[in-house]
Amino acid sequence: MAMAKAISDLKIFLDNKVKEYNNPRFIEGDPICVPHTFSLKQDIEIAGFFTALIAWGNRTTIIQNANRMVDAMDQSPYQFILQHEEKDLKRFLDIKHRTFNATDLLYLIHFLKLHYTSYDSLEDAFVLNNAVTMRERLINFHKYVFSFEHPERTRKHISTPEKNSACKRLNMYLRWMVRKDKHGVDFGIWNKLTMKDLIIPMDVHVSHVAFRLGLIKENKANWKTAEGLTEKLKEFDPKDPCQYDFALFALGAEERVR
């Protein structure tokens, strides 16, 4: 009985935090604000993809650099990806975010052009080869991105579970694209993946809070703990475990829970 009550109390606590932070008023200061400036599905996908890939470090700097990228795409990412000419790429040469530089950016622009020439949505890149688990999907995505001639240095910017990476930024991006609710923070514009497929975006903040709350046994931000935490959160909501990302990240990054 005591254990059941503790679990119930924890669910109530986290549910209240989700309600507090899964709120449009927090969009402005979060990197998700960058894709929120667009309405076309492909524009949202592309702006969200580049924003998610550089989402580490200071959030203000992340937003500034992501906006520089979409500004360089004339605020029309999809049209730019498909129609740009070689001379248009020069404007990206001085854009970088920490270790993500123009070499990485230009290759991924090239990759996206190849992808969108064959597919209507970037979602298709995450459902290749009839993969069943998210682990398989992310491994396949990594292999697909680098199935073309590419700079070796760019591989480190697309994580893969094969190396036990938590794949925090990719899982965050998938949360943005897949989650659907009435609050309007996440976009919910993809339909081939479902909310129950998602894995919690695990970083040091989420890992620390989850460990202190007894949701994971090891305070490690890797793929194993990300999967384990997601399975634990399915006890609270089997259809939408990643809603608790709002609570866990906020408790760690915003409220500095110790």
Render pLDDT for 26-53 as a digit per residue (tens, 0 to 9): 999 999 999 999 999 999 999 999 999 9
247 vs 22: CA distance, rounded Å: 8
pLDDT for the residue 8 = 84
Asked if the model's pLDDT at residue 195 lies above 60, the reply is yes
Q: Kindly list the distances between the CA atom of residue 253 and the CA atoms of 105, 207, 209, in Å, as whole numbers in the listed order.
A: 28, 11, 10
Question: Which percentage of the chain shows pLDDT scores above 90?
Answer: 94
> Mean pLDDT across the stretch 234-242?
97
> Mean pLDDT across the stretch 238-242?
98
**pTM of the predicted model, to two decimals?**
0.95
pLDDT for the residue 258 = 46
Per-residue pLDDT reduced to its tens digit, 112-169:
999 999 999 999 999 999 899 999 999 999 999 999 999 999 999 999 999 999 999 9
Strand ranges in 56-146 using DSSP code E only, listed in sequence order = none
Cα-trace Rg, the chain: 18
* Angle (deg, nearest 10), helices 41-53 and 59-72: 130
Instruction: Pick 148 or 5 by higher pLDDT.
Output: 148
Which residues, other chains included, contact 242 with Cβ-Cβ below 8 Å and sequence gap of 6+?
171, 175, 179, 195, 198, 199, 200, 201, 230, 233
> Mean pLDDT across the stretch 72-95?
97
Confidence grade of residue 253 (pLDDT, cut at 50, 70, 90): confident
248 vs 169: CA distance, rounded Å: 15
What mean pLDDT, rounded, does the chain reach? Answer: 95
